[in-house]
Amino acid sequence: MRRWREPLVLLLVFGVFTIWWLWPLPSVWRDHSAMLGERQETPLADFYLVTWVLAWDAHAIVTQPWALFQANAFYPSPSSLAYSEHLLGYLPLFAPTYWLTGNPILAVNVLVFLTYPLCALAAYALARRFAAPPAAALAGLLFAFAPFRRALPPHVHMLGTFWLPLALLGSERWLAASSPRRRDAALIAVALAMQGLSSVYLAYATLVAYGVYLPLALIRWRRRLDVRRLAGLGAAVLAAAIAIGLPMLPYLELRRYGLIPSYDDAVNSRPALGLLFAVPQVVDYLRVTGPGAAGYALAALALLPPWRERAWACVLGLVLTVAGLLLACGPASVLSSIDTGAPYRALVAWVPGFATVRIASRFVVIAHLGLALLAAVGSGRLLGRLRPPVAWAAAAIVALLLAWSFRTLPPLTVAPEIAGGAAPEVDRWLADHGRGRALLELPPAKRFPRAAHRMLMSTHHWLPIVEGYSGYPPPSMQRIYAVASELPDSGALQRLVDLVDIGWIVVHLDELAESERRRWDTPPPGLALVGRFGDALLFDVEQKPGPGDRRQRFFSTTETIEGTPLAPLGDSCPGRLVLTTPLPETIVVGESLVAKLDVYNDGPAPLPAQAMYPRHLVMLHAEVRAARSTPARTTEGPRAAVPPRHERARLIFDVPANGKMPAQIAVPLPPVVGDYVVRLELVQVEDGPLAGCGFATIESPIRVVLPSTPPRAEATGS
């Protein structure tokens, strides 16, 4: 029992520290959420999304685990959970509370709370191999309670990093022990698997961190390597890879069909904002939100000679730190003489799915673990010669000073949430009488938090819902709402039920204009009013679908909704694009430009344009490239050649044979003054531009200029 006394006491201490760290959330966590500073829209929507994902996982795992990825949002899209993270690694922390209370808000707050002491204890356990207990405890404190982790409660998938230190700990034990124990091999497998299952970001972070650790560890312990050690390590890594890889298959399938974009192709040449601003975010971590001056001082102390027995810990900490910082900077190079972005681009090229990463700066979690290990070694040099009571007292003083340094952090802002039995009345009615039928809510949410909140409210009844929130929403939602926007028109109702099987429609009157509310006073036949629940009208959809099989074609991979084959068009596809409004000759830098045009199909076959899967669809493509005559300039002077920019846009419907279709596309103008050429054309996804089979394109010059400055009025004397 004595061997467990120290970690249990530390777990209690870390728990008390967490209460202070997250206050006032622990006092109201049953029905409140917390944000750092003001509640901004995207983080709030992300919080609702994460909570919905975790609740769905906990619900599906005990009701229909075989259909885990067939989540209830984005109906009728298949594998709808794969439009977001699956977060399966967090089920042990989330599910017990959710199963006991049915309250996802409480369950996610408990999860957030638990990640802090668990991260601290895991980092302590790893650092304990290289430093005395007081120093290891300080490393755990630095690892768990850095300022950048305080800003993450909405993004739970980046908080639970406690499995990574445990994976390294199990590997150290397995390789270093004179007689390896099976439980250490099991720890490696479980820790790697659970960390990878906690988040796609953490899966890739684990891949990199363990990938740089393992070769060094094999060299470090080369004299102890034998068949048993290598076989056990290989089996553990393989088991973890299988556990992580199987849930990734739906994501790879959606990416193969083009529903999840990558940032490594010519069309999507503009990277995600998280890649563009990766370096400044890393700088912010190093300057403000990282381990702080005390942490850096302790880490620097570890690197001072002599190293002696500390050499391996220093090498490990330093390698993790450098690898994590380089990866967090994304594909851009931060040194003029060294291409520091090459490792990131290599991962994009070699690792399946890595190109979908949008926020590279999150990989600082690797560097943060490395700095925590270095801090453990550095503080061990300070405390190692003190008697244990004195060393613990000194560590406690350092911990208090660390807490005092956090006094300038902005406070957590808590806000009430609908939780537990306080669900809206219409959702409670649907929970009792919904019979598993799909739900459509009108009007569609205008803002991200509202869409995500509707997902969260669906946890009360778990009916399939058309709406949802994701970084990669499927096109099915847009298509369904394009039809439903004309309700309560009887023709629109027929087109809706022909397209998708809807059982219930909820109309939120408080979100409609007065004229739109009056339209619902007399619903068409086929919509039976169930009742009014506050400001919500609930309708039972009784309209039957007409002849045809549009529902079956909605997610077909072989034909469009209209029945046009999804196949290459071949050698002949005559047609042309005609601008309905000419493009301007000049435009002010930073302004937006939308090209409106008609698509004329002069061929005998329709052009496939309206299907959910992009493969073989005909789309509008806009390319903007610099004119050769004039180099681009900025207000500071000449700039290097601006790379071409691309944009694609879907057409509304299939373009009929010998017919036309209106269309529009946002022209991706560079934010740089200069002369450019805008090229508008039709392309068939994966098959290339239609110019090759006879479809005419449009090219138009355009000049991006600085805004004109009005002349200043001359001062006049009195």
Reported as a single tens digit per residue, the pLDDT across 132-158 is 999 999 999 999 998 888 766 678 888
* Neighbour-count burial of 575, counting CB atoms closer than 10 A to its CB (0-12 exposed, 13-18 middle, 19+ buried): buried
**Phi-psi category of residue 487: left, alpha or beta, with phi > 0 → left and psi -120 to 50 → alpha:** beta
pLDDT, position 667: 92
pLDDT over 80 at 641, yes or no: no
* 633-665 b/e (C-beta count within 10 Å ≥ 16 → b): eeeeeeeeebebbbbbebbebbbeeeebbebeb
Between CA 646 and CA 621 the distance in angstroms is 7
- DSSP 8-class letter at 286: I
Token pair of 561 as six digits: 């909704």
pLDDT, position 351: 85
272-286, 387-401, 447-461, 563-577: which has the minimum mean pLDDT? Answer: 272-286
**How confident is residue 716, by pLDDT bands cut at 50, 70 and 90?**
very low
End-to-end CA distance of the chain: 91
Give the amino acid at 473. Answer: P
Give the tens place of pLDDT for each residue, 481-512: 989 999 999 999 999 999 999 999 999 999 99
92-96, 394-398, 578-582: which has the minimum mean pLDDT? Answer: 394-398
Of 197, 20, 38, 187, give the one whose Cα is nearest residue 117. 20
Of 347, 416, 475, 394, give the one whose Cα is nearest residue 135. 394
**How confident is residue 266, by pLDDT bands cut at 50, 70 and 90?**
very low
**How confident is residue 635, by pLDDT bands cut at 50, 70 and 90?**
very low
* Rg over CA atoms, the chain: 29
- Largest Cα separation within the chain, whole Å, is 97
**How confident is residue 215, by pLDDT bands cut at 50, 70 and 90?**
very high
Is 97 within 8 Å of 110 (Cβ atoms)?
Answer: yes
Token pair of 404 as six digits: 């005092």
Q: Quote the pTM value.
A: 0.87
List, in order, residues 6 or more apart from 292 with CB less than 8 Å away: 146, 147, 402, 405
Q: Give the sheet arrangement for strand 504-508, strand by strand.
A: 439-442, 504-508, 536-541, 527-533
Name the residue with tokens 């098959």: 687
**How confident is residue 413, by pLDDT bands cut at 50, 70 and 90?**
confident
Is 398 within 8 Å of 138 (Cβ atoms)?
Answer: yes
SS3 call for 395: helix
CB-CB neighbours of 517 under 10 Å: 15
Quick check: bond before 76 cis, omega within 30?
yes
pLDDT, position 276: 63
**All CATH 2.60.40.10 domain ranges in the chain, comma separated:** 575-705
pLDDT, position 209: 95
What's the distance, CA 419 to chain centroid?
25
Name the residue with tokens 């290289």: 130
Give the amino acid at 592. Answer: S
Please report how the helices 200-220 and 364-383 are oriented relative to each other, as an axis angle in degrees rounded to 10.
Answer: 50
pLDDT over 90 at 92, yes or no: yes
Percent of the chain topping pLDDT 70: 93
Percent of the chain topping pLDDT 90: 53
pLDDT over 70 at 72, yes or no: yes
Name the residue with tokens 């668990």: 118
pLDDT, position 464: 96
Query: Mind giving me the DSSP string for 352-388?
Result: TTGGG---GGGGHHHHHHHHHHHHHHHHHHHHTTS-H
- When pLDDT is averaged across residues 24-49 and rounded to a whole number, the result is 86
- When pLDDT is averaged across residues 551-567 and rounded to a whole number, the result is 88
Between CA 444 and CA 27 the distance in angstroms is 35
Is 374 within 8 Å of 317 (Cβ atoms)?
Answer: yes
pLDDT over 60 at 346, yes or no: yes
SS3 call for 65: helix
**How confident is residue 427, by pLDDT bands cut at 50, 70 and 90?**
very high
pLDDT over 80 at 629, yes or no: no
- When pLDDT is averaged across residues 595-600 and rounded to a whole number, the result is 94
Token pair of 702 as six digits: 């355009």
CB-CB neighbours of 183 under 10 Å: 12
Give the tens place of pLDDT for each residue, 305-314: 876 777 899 9
Is 563 within 8 Å of 611 (Cβ atoms)?
Answer: no
Q: What is the architecture of the domain spanning 575-705? A: Sandwich (2.60)
- DSSP 8-class letter at 308: G
Give the tens place of pLDDT for each residue, 176-197: 888 889 999 999 999 999 999 9
- Tell me the β-bridge partners of 594: 666
Give the tens place of pLDDT for each residue, 218-258: 999 988 889 999 999 999 999 999 999 999 899 888 887 77
Is 505 within 8 Å of 487 (Cβ atoms)?
Answer: yes
- When pLDDT is averaged across residues 33-42 and rounded to a whole number, the result is 78
Residue 664 is inside which H or E element, if any?
strand 659-666
Is 601 within 8 Å of 660 (Cβ atoms)?
Answer: yes
Between CA 707 and CA 718 the distance in angstroms is 33
Q: Give the sheet arrangement for strand 575-579, strand by strand.
A: 575-579, 594-601, 659-666
pLDDT over 50 at 364, yes or no: yes
pLDDT over 90 at 6, yes or no: no
- When pLDDT is averaged across residues 613-636 and rounded to a whole number, the result is 75
**Phi-psi category of residue 637: left, alpha or beta, with phi > 0 → left and psi -120 to 50 → alpha:** left
Give the tens place of pLDDT for each residue, 665-699: 999 988 889 899 999 999 998 888 998 898 999 99
**How confident is residue 356, by pLDDT bands cut at 50, 70 and 90?**
confident
What rounded mean pLDDT belongs to the chain?
Answer: 88
Give the amino acid at 410. Answer: P
pLDDT over 70 at 65, yes or no: yes
pLDDT over 80 at 273, yes or no: no
pLDDT over 50 at 420, yes or no: yes
Token pair of 290 as six digits: 């990282």
pLDDT, position 718: 36
**How confident is residue 66, by pLDDT bands cut at 50, 70 and 90?**
very high
Is 87 within 8 Å of 50 (Cβ atoms)?
Answer: yes
